Amino acid sequence: MRTIDHVYIDGQFVIPHGTELAPLYNPATEEIIGQVRLADETDAHAAIAAAKRAFATFSRTSKEERIALLHRLSASFTERLDDLKAAMTEEYGAVRGIVDGLIPLAPGMFDAAAKLLENYEFTRTQGTNTIVMEPLGVAAVITPWNLNIVFIAQKLASAIAAGTTVVVKPSEISAIQTQVLTEAIDAADLPPGVVNIVTGRGNVVGNVLTSHPDIAKVGFTGSTAVGQQIMRNAAETFKRLTLELGGKGPSILLDDADLSSAVPAALASGFLNNGQTCFAGTRILAPRDRLDEVVEAIEKAMPAFQVGDPTDPATGVGPVVSQQQFDRVQHYIRLGLEEGAKLLTGGPGRPEGLEKGWYVKPTIFTGVTNEMRVAREEIFGPVLVVIPFDDDDEAVSIANDTPYGLQAQVFSSDTERARGVARQVQAGTVLINRIFADEEAPFGGIKQSGIGREHHTYGLEAYLEPRAISE
Catalytic residues: 244, 278
Name the strand (E) or helix (H) holding 20: none
* 3-state class percentages of the chain: helix first, strand second, coil last, to nearest 5: 45, 20, 35
Nearest 5 degrees, angle CA 42-CA 209-CA 36? 60
Classify residue 18 by its DSSP letter.
-
Enclosing H/E stretch for 7? strand 7-9
φ/ψ (deg, to 5) at 305: -110, 50
DSSP result, 237-275: TT-EEEEE-----EEEE-TT--HHHHHHHHHHHHHGGGG
Q: Closest Cα to residue 419, out of 438, 392, 450, 390?
A: 392
- 175 close to 4: Cβ distance less than 8 angstroms: yes
The answer to whether 317 and 358 have CB atoms below 8 angstroms apart is: no
Return d(Cα 347, Cα 341) in angstroms, integer. Answer: 11
Using an 8 Å Cβ cutoff, are 7 and 167 in contact?
no
CB contact set of 292 (below 8 Å; sequence gap of 6+): none
Write the DSSP symbol of residue 140. E
Among 30, 311, 321, 276, smallest CA distance to 172 is for 321
- Residue 112 CA to residue 155 CA, distance in Å, equals 12
Residue 379 and residue 339 in contact, taking contact as beta carbons nearer than 8 Å = no
Q: Strands 363-366, 2-4: parallel, antiparallel or unpaired by DSSP?
A: unpaired
* Contact indicator for 194, 166 with CB cutoff of 8 Å: yes
**Cross-strand bridge partners of residue 129:** 126, 470
The Cα–Cα gap between 25 and 52 comes to 35
